[in-house]
Amino acid sequence: MGEAANRVHIVKASGEIEVFNPNMVTSDCQDAGIDFWTAVEVAQEVSKRIKDGASTREIQQETLRVLYAMNPEAAERYKRYHSMYVRTSRNTIEAFDRKKIVESLILETSLPREIAENIAREAEAELRRLKLEFISAPLIREVVNVKLLEHGFEEARASYTRLGMPVYDASLLVEGASQDAEEVHRAMAANVLKEFVLLKVLPLSLADAHMKGDLHIHAIEAFATKASSCVHDLRYYLLSGIRGRKAAVPPPGDALDALLLAVNLLRYGMGSFSTSQCLDYINVFLAPYLRGLSDAEMSRIARLLLRQISQLGASCDLWVEYGVPRFMSSMEAVLPGGEMDGTTYGEFEEEASSFALAIARAYASGDHLGTPFSSPRLCFRLRDEHWDRHGYSTFLQLAHQAAAAGAEHLFASPRGNELQAGTYTLPADTAVSAAMLQVVTVNLPRIAYQSGGSDRRLFELLEDRVRLALEALMLKKEVIERRVAAKVLPLLDDSYTSTPILLGVGYVGLNEMLMAHLGAELHREEALGFARRVLRQMYSLVTQEGEASRRFVLVQQLDENPHRRLARLDHGIFAHRVAVSAERRGGEVRYTPASWVSEDAELPLAKRLEIEGEFHRLCHGGAVSVIPLREQVPDPVPLMKLSRRIAADTQLRFWKYIREVGR
């Protein structure tokens, strides 16, 4: 039996893999009140039946089948014992296991094992007396604390109590390698807020969907407090200044004032937006403040702008145009002092171009020590109208030089009669601003696993999950509207009724869904047609909701968290199927983001981008493709030519280059 165990690996509910040990089954049966010899006999039979890669849930099901064959009364006892589940602090749902209480007591309080086992046994009895199907990690901890107090272990109770997280975890955070005070504060606050959202804000159906992995609610710790991201229209603040709660910033009178206002806007916005902020057309809107400055002065302003934003410690994007786009030429400009006298932005073409070049050059050369800027991210639109302008080639070469060296610059190619503010697609006649309130991502591979090969069932589940995501987004909309009415979101308070508001439904693992359902990857023709059906169905379900100023949109998120988290959860439940369909990175499973083609697909880059670009058209909440650079430091000139071909020959809206093998 020992030799067989060495050849069989099992997948725990957390997604971790370990060697199967029949003694685990024996102990599990004994914990349920089954006598030792029966438990040993059951363990021997189960060890013959399980296969490599079986999940702990499958092992328990097999144990139950063996018990029913041997001793129905013992089987019922075992079934009752495993009928209580725990919503854990890791946002997963697992079968209750008393041993975990014992181990945590020993780890966090240093109680002797004998006492810890006694406390855990009494706590379990109390929990089972409640006859609850689901219990929470906080409830378990509360009951254990009561038992500690009953036995007079006050000091141990103080160590075991919760502060939004276990005292032990808080100690590791405070005393760990990263001891930045602000990071510690944010991490602790995020933990408390995440629990608050899951326990108090979300209905049980949504909380369970997130914890189980049907959905992923992005930045869940900010669900009850902030919107997700925003593209600011800087003109509004150049005209009126910033009305802060403690102090107001007046309309700027010169270039330095305008720069500081832009930075303060981003700093102030951190109280309203959890994920990112964007200043679009930054060089165009600041151009009126730059008239008369020398190249050296303009370079200084550009460096100061980058340096100040890099110190914010938040995700910020600056969209840079080369000059003034044709559609903005007739827009009335905001002038120093908040004046507007009929002068248009088209009259500041030279200043806008020179400042764009200064920003690109400053970013490419790094800070005063030559260290590359990691923030803000610069974003560049490639427009046909700019190619013949003097200096444009130099501007783009600098942008691609930085991208080749590792900068995560974003490149864009506007399509049709649309204006793209940040990565949001808006009609061209709207203000250049938008706010994304929330993104909820749907786990596509799980739908395939649960559909059992049935197209009808797959699309039924797809509709259910999308509607569940929409339910979460509607709830977020209500939360934000209450906070706007309470005047606690300063940068949304004044503009909420006029700013286009977006609510995003994301998706992950289209490639793995196709592998599980059809046995073919996205780049195969037989799978591509089915992928179109899936995304068009999602697009139809999402866009039929909302209204002109409150739009539900499909979105592709680059956030790594759901790609890994959802794959790990599926790996723990559908071990055999996920082990085949999920991509492995350094021993860890991971789903392919959104509708990207697998990095292992053997096809030309042009074909890869053609496929991915086809789905960009449906994602009006943003869609980005990533192009890996195989060379260590590529020549920026060929890279610039590649960008031009992408803009001309594909349907990609946004792309970026990464200097690493694989995506």
Residue 377 belongs to what H/E stretch?
A: strand 377-381
Domain assignments of the chain as residue spans, ordered by start: 2-82, 93-168, 237-421, 433-622
Entry pTM: 0.79
Give me the sign of the Cα torsion angle 267, 270, 271, 276: positive
Which residue from 624, 621, 227, 615 is spatially nearest to 425, judged by alpha carbons?
621
pLDDT of residue 2: 44
What is the SS3 assignment for 324? Answer: coil
Residue 562, preceding peptide bond in cis (omega within 30° of 0):
no
How many helices and strands (H and E) does the chain possess? Answer: 27, 24
State how beta strands 624-628 and 9-11 pair.
unpaired
| Cα-trace Rg, the chain | 28
Question: Distance between CA atoms of 123 and 144, rounded to whole angstroms?
Answer: 6
Which two tokens mark 644? 């031009």
Q: How far is CA 332 from CA 353, 386, 569, in A?
A: 18, 21, 53
| Geometric angle at alpha carbon 400, from 398 and 404, rounded to 5° | 120
Q: Which residue's entry shows tokens 């995003």?
A: 504
State how beta strands 654-658 and 17-19 pair.
unpaired
pLDDT of residue 597: 93
Question: Distance between CA atoms of 526 and 544, rounded to whole angstroms?
Answer: 28
Is the CB of residue 503 less than 8 Å from the CB of residue 218? no
State how beta strands 418-421 and 424-427 pair.
antiparallel
Is the CB of residue 317 less than 8 Å from the CB of residue 374? no
- Cα–chain-centroid distance for residue 531? 22
Q: What is the mean pLDDT of each run of 10 residues along the chain (663 residues)?
A: 59 77 87 86 89 83 88 83 74 79 90 92 84 81 91 87 74 72 79 85 92 95 94 92 78 95 93 93 96 94 94 90 91 94 95 96 84 86 85 93 89 60 48 84 96 96 97 96 89 77 94 94 94 96 76 88 91 74 64 90 91 92 89 82 90 87 44
